[in-house]
Structure 1
């Protein structure tokens, strides 16, 4: 999909896309600078950074109905999360800003005809309202934790609010007072919220969009919204199927069944842990939510200790460890010498909550020495949390080395780039397993289950061919690496097969698996990087793990305000990250050859000048 306009959703015409087209180097800088010629054209963006327009409209409607004119609202799936957001802001904001905070809870009005049919969906919303000055603090919580509502939940619940099926949870029995735009009382069929007018008009109603139910037609609405494609009776089987795929125990791509899967199926999994159970795998609205709640779990069960961030991290992982709890010790290289230094501190008596790392890391694709980390953790009593998003559990098995394994299911597990998701696995052989499981069963623990049913159904459907897609991206990535390695304009390639930490990757690599679909490359001159990026005929935007090749000037997007800091850890500002897709190998290789040729010609042109 090379011919996408600036600001168009990726994939195009997809109401819940998780990426957005930034087709030139200049447009990426414009986005980071907040320039209107870029931001004003964006129909969507990566959901934790760009608040989806359907969420924005719902929040504005809530403010208009119950809030002050100058206030902003951030939406969360339950009151516990909203309360955590309020606590976060109050601990950091000036007193006047903290005093502006308020919460509004909307729940299903079961007194309305047909509302009982919606109860199993738990269509609740908790809004945190604050002044304009509170926006940046609220946005921090939203972005770092990933615990905000999904765009599908917002669409659905907003439709219910418009039709009088949600009420304030304040002891009142009636619906929330409507604004001047009162819902029609005549028969209704399908009605799309205006928030989606910019994208949903191109989308088949079978796949995306939202229907708004009339009070008299709730049953019909449910049938038409879910019955043909997203039958709510399949939500629990879908969750089960997703968890078993994550465990490497489900070996079929067949349609869902309402029948419970056999218990013994989990014994035969690719994780090499025969006592792993489906109940040890938790689903979250996105990958950062899995990381954040794993950190919460460890703080609650192990005490208030600093954590270790080992290796150059995805940006919000480090922010979580810095801002939630007593702090973090950062080892940005993730090298053997960093482990030597850590061991000295441990020997001197320092103690830590947990070590968080990625396998491989993003964007340098280096791998920490999990064998040595596990030995240190056992000796000095700290937990190990491994993010396997980039390696993927079809290529590597890190669970034997970890107490908790987290992953963003938004990426290659889904592939279609139209739904968010995350997971956390508790290793049943961990010394912390029982305390974590006990905490998970309590209110506000890992069992909050805030993953919206529609998102569950889309993720299950998308992930059925996950393993076969991994095989294809592995092969395509190696073919692209071969082209990059032969180019005179390429300075450095980052890929697990060629990094100095390859042995660490091999220690966790599954038999007959590959090295993943993510490559980072640095060209020899900045102008070459710009020419290459502008010329490459792939989709260009944030995110990774898509079924199509997606290219991004990753460091500009992730670390624009801290480029010098990133370069201090070997992460160069002109680095280009390539998420390899499922295209025909010969085609995608030629695409890269063409862009490299343009980069070479840009050097010759600049020398002539």
Structure 2
């Protein structure tokens, strides 16, 4: 497939792409080992593992203006989040290291007339400034929590800093003696009113009308056609209603009122829009679900049930009192858990994926719900892979989380996440009270607008992807090179999936395969003519040696839970069915020829 060079963005030439091209098996190994021939060619990467160039540039300028030489900065959207990062670092560093940390808060210059029209965007930045040897701890927090700024926010706010619209906050966490700044009047549209403007017509809020008009033109130039601020709130509502299954059509904002929430695919008539929370990415939804449960129920261990996405387990282990890990999500795992519960052990919550990644195993949610009700723990279900267009897990969960970055968006150019609080379960009131105190909407408006647009045809795309995935499975299941195929329709846990499957729903667009040996896996991966890189749920087929990327430093550990280190994961796209099937047939033919010759 043309257009996917090593280290290039996926999709190609996309400034805020979510994936990066790693077109050969050796390129994936080189990436994990930090080999120059791979790393030096990377223009981007998955946003929670690779700090976007626009964020790096902004962070460097903040350090240059406000920090000591040799320092680095990690950027967050609010001071509260920056403080959480600081607390995480302090819990892991020596006392001598943490005395040199500080937070720099940049806020709109309220005295600047042009800044007033930007206030609805809340374009503030809080930067944790720290020595290079401490930076890896900040990066851990950034990766696990998903709390960092988005690349679009960084790009926009960096422009404001350059234009003189962001200033250093005079709060208690500012550096005690920031370096002096050269006076800069900046472009006319940002200047304070002078005596020469005294006789000019005034807008309602005071500045000269010419200045207000220039400010408006500046906003139009800055946002281009990507963002109309007045549409941000309706866009969030539309996204939430799609998540609820109450808005399934390609609805144009402003064309007509959004439908009510009474009728939805979740089967819960009292589900309200404010029971659905949006986050900058899916991992941030999981992180905040965990925070909400700790904050409303107290410090207790959680349960990670099933082989996890890497950062979910890290969150449960590093934030709070730890967790109990069941890596198989089997009935015998539930038997052991039930014995612990009968013996008096108590837990905060059980976190699981449905289906799991990458083996597509589906835990028994009916039994989990029964145990949760009997022994008083919450259930958090990540529905990202199955998607809420195919199934409904909310009746079995207290919180349902999803990565909107994946198939809900599809275009692979924006991040997002969501969490739903089940209004009919026992922890609902406590969760809502916590959210009222602690929830901060940090989803950058420009990202919201991209997500809303991308998700309008979500349901129809899922239908096509379901069809393509099953057609690819039919080819893979019959081929002698394939040792095992993992897909909800063919797994031993299919009955658990069927319990939650919607009428007319399918089995999703994610398939994993294992081969008889590593040589076959490498030959297949190198030959497959698709985009190849991290992430899933793209509108185009995306292939990845997932275990290699997610667990390179712990391959033996993963193998202990039945996860083949040479597994290849396929995220199926919207190509013509015959075309994409032929792509897989050709790759399998090459696999057999190469490996039989050896």
Which of 333, 340, 349 is the aligned partner of 1:338?
333
Aligned to 2:431: 436
Per the TM alignment, residue 100 of structure 1 is displaced from its structure 2 partner at its CA by 2.0
Provide the secondary structure at the position in 1 that maps to 2:252. coil
Deviations for 1:381-440, whole angstroms, at most 9, x for unmatched residues?
Answer: 000000000000000100000000000000000000000000000000010001111111
Counterparts of 1:181 and 1:511, CA distance in 2: 65
Counterparts of 1:316 and 1:151, CA distance in 2: 20
Instruction: Report the CA distance shift for 1:187/1:146 in structure 2 as closer, same or farther (over 3 A).
Output: same
Counterparts of 1:594 and 1:259, CA distance in 2: 48
TM-score (norm 1): 0.92
1:248 aligns with 2:245: yes
Instruction: Report the CA distance shift for 1:178/1:370 in structure 2 as closer, same or farther (over 3 A).
Output: farther
Query: Do 2:471 and 2:577's aligned partners in 1 also have CA atoms closer than 8 Å?
Result: yes
Query: Do 2:18 and 2:415's aligned partners in 1 also have CA atoms closer than 8 Å?
Result: yes
Provide the secondary structure at the position in 1 that maps to 2:586. helix
Counterparts of 2:31 and 2:344, CA distance in 1: 46
Matches within 5 A, 1:570-585: 570-585=562-577
Counterparts of 1:361 and 1:124, CA distance in 2: 37
Which of 388, 401, 408 is the aligned partner of 1:406?
401
Matches within 5 A, 1:75-474: 75-170=75-170, 185=187, 217-226=214-223, 228-257=225-254, 261=258, 265-442=260-437, 445-446=438-439, 448-474=440-466
Deviations for 1:56-90, whole angstroms, at most 9, x for unmatched residues?
Answer: 00000000000011111000000000000000110
Instruction: Report the CA distance shift for 1:351/1:472 in structure 2 as closer, same or farther (over 3 A).
Output: same
Runs (4 or more) in structure 1 with deviation over 6 Å come to 176-184
Instruction: Give the CA RMSD over aligned residues.
Output: 1.9
Instruction: Report the CA distance shift for 1:177/1:112 in structure 2 as closer, same or farther (over 3 A).
Output: farther
Instruction: Report the CA distance shift for 1:70/1:596 in structure 2 as closer, same or farther (over 3 A).
Output: same
Which of 512, 524, 531 is the aligned partner of 2:504?
512
Per the TM alignment, residue 257 of structure 1 is displaced from its structure 2 partner at its CA by 1.6
Counterparts of 1:487 and 1:290, CA distance in 2: 39
Query: Do 2:3 and 2:12's aligned partners in 1 also have CA atoms closer than 8 Å?
Result: no
Aligned to 2:597: 605
Instruction: Report the CA distance shift for 1:227/1:574 in structure 2 as closer, same or farther (over 3 A).
Output: closer
Query: Do 1:162 and 1:182's aligned partners in 2 also have CA atoms closer than 8 Å?
Result: no
Aligned to 2:203: none
Per the TM alignment, residue 509 of structure 1 is displaced from its structure 2 partner at its CA by 0.2
Give 5+ residue unaligned stretches, structure 2.
191-210
Counterparts of 1:593 and 1:3, CA distance in 2: 21
Query: Do 1:366 and 1:501's aligned partners in 2 also have CA atoms closer than 8 Å?
Result: yes
Per the TM alignment, residue 602 of structure 1 is displaced from its structure 2 partner at its CA by 1.4
Query: Do 2:114 and 2:189's aligned partners in 1 also have CA atoms closer than 8 Å?
Result: no
Per the TM alignment, residue 186 of structure 1 is displaced from its structure 2 partner at its CA by 7.5
Give 5+ residue unaligned stretches, structure 1.
189-213
Aligned to 1:195: none
Query: Do 1:334 and 1:368's aligned partners in 2 also have CA atoms closer than 8 Å?
Result: yes
Per the TM alignment, residue 222 of structure 1 is displaced from its structure 2 partner at its CA by 1.3
Counterparts of 1:411 and 1:164, CA distance in 2: 36
Instruction: Report the CA distance shift for 1:299/1:577 in structure 2 as closer, same or farther (over 3 A).
Output: same
Matched residues, number? 574
Which of 538, 543, 558 is the aligned partner of 2:535?
543
Query: Do 2:226 and 2:446's aligned partners in 1 also have CA atoms closer than 8 Å?
Result: no
Deviations for 1:162-207, whole angstroms, at most 9, x for unmatched residues?
Answer: 011001111699xx9797897964799xxxxxxxxxxxxxxxxxxx
